């Protein structure tokens, strides 16, 4: 089963992103497919944080708009919402120790732990940090193979600032 990282959702949502069309097409294929795909609760929270944040999106998305967009995705019969199971602590601990990650990478370790708990064997992401986790495969769907997207920015581009920062 495939799981989606936050950046894939942001690309698909943001009509100004360089991978918007590819992102939307990917979500349509998954939502209309016969096999399940996983959405991780932490990624949905992070999606909402990113697209409604005025320092990231200018103008930021309306919260209702972002929630409605997610609701359409969640209504797909193929969508599976991955949440913590009773085994979460032990699985997360194993992922953290085997991967020797800390700091900001703990968030990605949490997604890997959720993936392992729900039978997800591949995460679609543009985040090359997932290479640090031997427990799961990852793929950049906009590149055609494994590995990070080579752009000037390290993270998925989002709406560009149209006003100067004060």
Which tens digit of pLDDT belongs to each residue from 78-113?
Answer: 999 999 999 999 999 999 999 999 999 999 999 999
**Residue 47 located in a structural domain:** yes
| Distance linking the first and last C-alpha atoms of the chain | 45
Residue 112 has what pLDDT? 98
CATH number at residue 135: 3.40.50.1010
| Rg value, the chain, Cα | 16
Residue 161 has what pLDDT? 39
Residue 14 has what pLDDT? 94
Does pLDDT of 8 surpass 90? yes
| Mean pLDDT on 127-145 | 91
**Residue 159 located in a structural domain:** no
**Residue 149 located in a structural domain:** no
Structure tokens given for 127: 């985040």
Which tens digit of pLDDT belongs to each residue from 11-60?
Answer: 999 999 999 999 999 999 999 998 999 999 999 999 999 999 999 988 99
Helices H, strands E: what count in the chain? Answer: 6, 5
Number of domains the chain is built from = 1
DSSP H helices, the chain, are 6-13, 20-32, 41-51, 63-74, 88-99, 105-117
Q: What percentage of residues in the chain have a pLDDT greater than 90?
A: 83
- Which H or E run includes 123? strand 122-124
Question: What predicted TM-score, i.e. pTM, was given to this entire model?
Answer: 0.84
Pairing verdict, β 122-124 and 79-82: unpaired
**Residue 100 located in a structural domain:** yes
**Residue 64 located in a structural domain:** yes
**Residue 76 located in a structural domain:** yes
For 143, other C-beta atoms within 10 Å of its C-beta total 13
**Residue 112 located in a structural domain:** yes
Domain, as residue range, for 30? 2-139
């Amino acid at each position: 089963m495939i799981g989606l990282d936050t950046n894939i959702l942001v690309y698909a949502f943001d009509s100004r992103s360089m991978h918007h069309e590819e992102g939307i097409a990917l979500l349509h294929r998954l939502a209309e497919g016969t096999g399940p795909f996983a959405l991780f609760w932490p990624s949905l929270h992070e999606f909402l944080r990113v697209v409604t944040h005025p320092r990231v999106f200018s103008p930021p998305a309306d919260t209702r708009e972002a929630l409605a967009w997610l609701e359409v995705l969640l209504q797909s019969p193929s969508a599976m919402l991955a949440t913590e199971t009773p085994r979460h602590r032990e699985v997360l601990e194993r992922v953290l120790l085997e991967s020797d990650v800390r700091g900001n990478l703990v968030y990605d370790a949490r997604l890997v732990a959720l993936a392992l708990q729900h039978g997800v064997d591949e995460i679609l992401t543009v985040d090359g940090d997932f290479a640090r986790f031997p427990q799961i495969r990852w793929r950049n769907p906009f590149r055609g193979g494994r590995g990070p997207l080579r752009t000037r920015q390290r993270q998925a581009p989002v709406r560009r600032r149209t006003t100067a920062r004060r």
